[in-house]
Amino acid sequence: MPITNDSVFMPSVLTFIGIPGLEPVQCWIGILFCVMYIIAVIGNSLLLIIIKYEPSLHEPMYIFLAMLGATDIALSTSIVPKMLGIFWFHLPEIYFDACLFQMWLIHTFQGIESGVLLAMALDRYIAIRYPLRHATIFTQQLVTRIGVGVTVRPAILVIPCLLLIKCRLKLYRTKLISHTYCEHMALVKLATGNVYINKFYGLLGAFIVGGLDFIFITVSYIQIFITVFHLPQKEARLKAFNTCIPHICVFFQFYGLIGILYPIIYSHHLV
């Protein structure tokens, strides 16, 4: 990408465009996002309270569900308040370092959600494949280690993205971000010069977290379905399958959205 006279050296402030083409109705769109945010926060908070104070729910599946609820609150809180500031109060500016921090939060929480879904799939696999050994395999200590692992993994993997942007990308052709939040590829495309290393690592990180998790979850559920279909009694098959339905719905919702958005985002920025 050539350097022009309009290039800016390490801008201290960036500006969100919002939703291009929908500027006149962004105020009303903000109401919709606000309502969804409130519902998400209240619903997930109630879920956390119920799991915390109900001893019978202190099992791996519900602990992972609580982690998923807490991550949903954190992820939406990382995006929606600033988005509403853009839509309602005309506050589109954000400091460059604050933008990097928001990007780290968003991609980290997305990675945590993916890791928790993988942990839930493994929990169901062990519960259905080895029901008598489930309690001895998924101990409290193992659940804690899994929780730490799925949190630390994306947090560490996203850090090089920040460093590559901070250390390599010095000149920017514009300070306008065509988004309502800071996302890796949207920020990288603002820069001039060679950004292929940044794009490559972004794709690599997305595959290591989301791609591998998707593969392992798919393999886990193939094994689960094979085990369920080999159960001798119909009632046992239905009971085993019903325990997986909520997680399957969440799985398709999460990866379905990613499957739609990521090819569009990355194919656009890799041109």
In tens, the pLDDT along 4-36 reads 556 788 899 999 988 888 888 999 999 999 999
Q: Yes or no: say if 199 and 191 are a contact pair by the CB < 8 Å rule.
A: no
What pLDDT band is residue 210 in, cutting at 50, 70 and 90? confident
Dist CA 64 CA 117 (whole Å): 8
Task: Round the average pLDDT of the chain to a whole number and report it.
Answer: 86
Dist CA 92 CA 21 (whole Å): 16
Q: Is the pLDDT of residue 258 over 60?
A: no
Q: Is the pLDDT of residue 160 over 80?
A: yes
pLDDT > 90 in the chain, percent: 59
- The one-letter amino acid code at 77 reads T
Residue 171's SS3 state is strand
Ranges 75-84, 105-114, 196-205, 258-267: which has the least confidence: 258-267
What number is the average pLDDT over the span 65-87? 93
What number is the average pLDDT over the span 56-61? 90
Taking each helix axis from N to C end, the angle separating 212-229 and 96-129, rounded to the nearest 10 degrees, works out to 20
Closest to 6 (Cα-Cα) out of 166, 169, 175, 188: 175
Q: Yes or no: say if 41 and 73 are a contact pair by the CB < 8 Å rule.
A: yes
What pLDDT band is residue 257 in, cutting at 50, 70 and 90? low
Ranges 36-40, 87-91, 128-132, 146-150: which has the least confidence: 128-132
Dist CA 32 CA 28 (whole Å): 7
pLDDT of residue 261: 47
What number is the average pLDDT over the span 45-72? 92
Residues pairing with 9 in the sheet: 171
- The one-letter amino acid code at 148 reads V
Q: Is the pLDDT of residue 1 over 60?
A: no
The position carrying tokens 């506050």 is: 91
What pLDDT band is residue 193 in, cutting at 50, 70 and 90? confident
What number is the average pLDDT over the span 87-98? 94
Q: Yes or no: say if 96 and 10 are a contact pair by the CB < 8 Å rule.
A: yes
Dist CA 138 CA 124 (whole Å): 11
pLDDT of residue 6: 64
Q: Is the pLDDT of residue 232 over 80?
A: no
What pLDDT band is residue 230 in, cutting at 50, 70 and 90? confident
